[in-house]
C-alpha cells in the first residue's frame, strides 16, 4: 500500500443545489428523523437553520402536546400511589377502582366547570388562554392594586380555580 491510499477519506459535498463546497456541517432532515442528516457548507447550513421550524405543520394543540411530552423525554408515565391502580401500571384496567354511582367523577367535573366559570373561561379554552386569563385576574384583584379586603378573598378564589384547572388539564 502506498502512503496516499492510507489518507483517503470520503468527502461529502454540500447538498444545496449548485453548490460544490465541502459539506462539513450537518442538519436534521425533518422532525420525524432527527438522527438522519443533510450535509451543507457553512453558508448553506446557516440558511437552512434560519428557515427551519420544528413545529411547522402542527396545530396549537399538537404543539402543546409535544411540549408537554418534552417534560418526560417522550417516555411513558403513570401516576404513583393512586387510589385507582394501587401504584401498579395497570394498562388493561383490571385493578381499576369502580365507583358504583360515579359520584366522584360528577363532583370532579362540576368542580372543574365552576373553576372555569370563576376565571370567565369556556371549557374548551387552551392552556395559553387559561394562563393569560389567570394573569389578568391576578393583576386586577391583587391586594397591592386594591385597597378593599374583598379583593384578597377574590384572589384566593382565583388561585384555587386556577390550581383546579391546571391539576386536571
Looking at the fold, whether 109 and 169 belong to one and the same domain comes out as: yes
Looking at the predicted structure, is the pLDDT value of residue 107 above 80? no
Looking at the fold, whether 88 and 37 belong to one and the same domain comes out as: no
Q: Residue 29 CB: number of other CB atoms within 10 A?
A: 12
Looking at the fold, whether 31 and 68 belong to one and the same domain comes out as: no
Q: At which residue does the C-alpha cell 447538498 appear? A: 15
Does residue 4 belong to any structural domain of this protein?
A: no
Give the C-alpha distances (Å, rounded to integers) separating 12 from 16, 22, 34, 145: 12, 6, 19, 63
For the chain, the first-to-last Cα distance in angstroms comes to: 67
pLDDT in tens, 51-64: 998 888 899 999 99
Torsion of CA 38, 41, 47, 48, to 10 degrees: 0
What's the pLDDT score for residue 64? 93
Looking at the fold, whether 34 and 91 belong to one and the same domain comes out as: no
Q: What is the mean pLDDT of residues 87-102?
A: 58
Enumerate the β-bridge partners of residue 27. 38
Does residue 2 belong to any structural domain of this protein?
A: no
Q: What is the mean pLDDT of residues 4-25?
A: 84
Work out the pLDDT band at 162, boundaries 50, 70, 90: very high
Looking at the predicted structure, is the pLDDT value of residue 74 above 90? no
- Domain hosting residue 142, numbered range: 101-169
Work out the pLDDT band at 85, boundaries 50, 70, 90: very low
Looking at the fold, whether 39 and 88 belong to one and the same domain comes out as: no
Q: What is the mean pLDDT of residues 115-140?
A: 90
Looking at the predicted structure, is the pLDDT value of residue 68 above 80? yes
Does residue 1 belong to any structural domain of this protein?
A: no
Does residue 67 belong to any structural domain of this protein?
A: yes
Among 6-20, 31-45, 91-105, name the one with the lowest average pLDDT.
91-105
DSSP at 22: B
What's the pLDDT score for residue 168? 83
Does residue 127 belong to any structural domain of this protein?
A: yes
Does residue 47 belong to any structural domain of this protein?
A: yes
Looking at the fold, whether 80 and 33 belong to one and the same domain comes out as: no
Work out the pLDDT band at 100, boundaries 50, 70, 90: very low
Does residue 160 belong to any structural domain of this protein?
A: yes
Looking at the fold, whether 67 and 44 belong to one and the same domain comes out as: no
Looking at the fold, whether 17 and 29 belong to one and the same domain comes out as: yes
Domains of the chain: total: 3
Looking at the fold, whether 89 and 106 belong to one and the same domain comes out as: no
Amino acid at each position: 500500500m502506498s502512503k496516499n491510499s492510507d489518507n483517503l477519506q470520503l468527502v461529502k459535498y454540500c447538498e444545496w443545489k449548485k453548490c460544490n463546497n465541502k459539506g462539513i456541517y450537518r442538519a436534521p432532515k425533518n422532525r420525524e428523523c432527527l438522527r438522519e442528516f443533510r450535509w451543507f457548507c457553512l453558508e448553506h447550513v446557516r440558511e437552512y437553520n434560519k428557515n427551519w421550524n420544528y413545529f411547522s405543520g402542527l396545530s396549537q394543540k399538537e404543539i402543546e402536546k409535544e411540549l408537554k411530552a418534552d417534560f418526560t423525554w417522550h417516555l411513558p408515565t403513570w401516576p404513583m400511589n393512586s387510589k385507582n391502580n394501587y401504584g401498579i401500571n395497570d394498562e388493561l384496567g383490571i385493578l381499576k377502582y369502580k365507583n358504583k354511582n360515579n359520584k366522584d367523577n360528577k363532583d370532579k367535573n362540576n368542580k372543574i366547570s365552576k373553576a372555569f366559570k370563576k376565571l370567565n373561561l369556556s371549557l374548551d379554552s387552551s392552556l395559553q388562554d387559561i394562563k393569560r386569563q389567570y394573569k389578568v385576574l391576578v393583576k386586577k384583584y391583587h391586594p397591592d392594586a386594591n385597597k378593599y379586603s374583598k379583593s384578597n378573598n377574590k384572589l384566593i378564589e382565583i388561585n384555587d380555580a386556577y390550581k383546579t384547572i391546571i391539576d386536571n388539564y
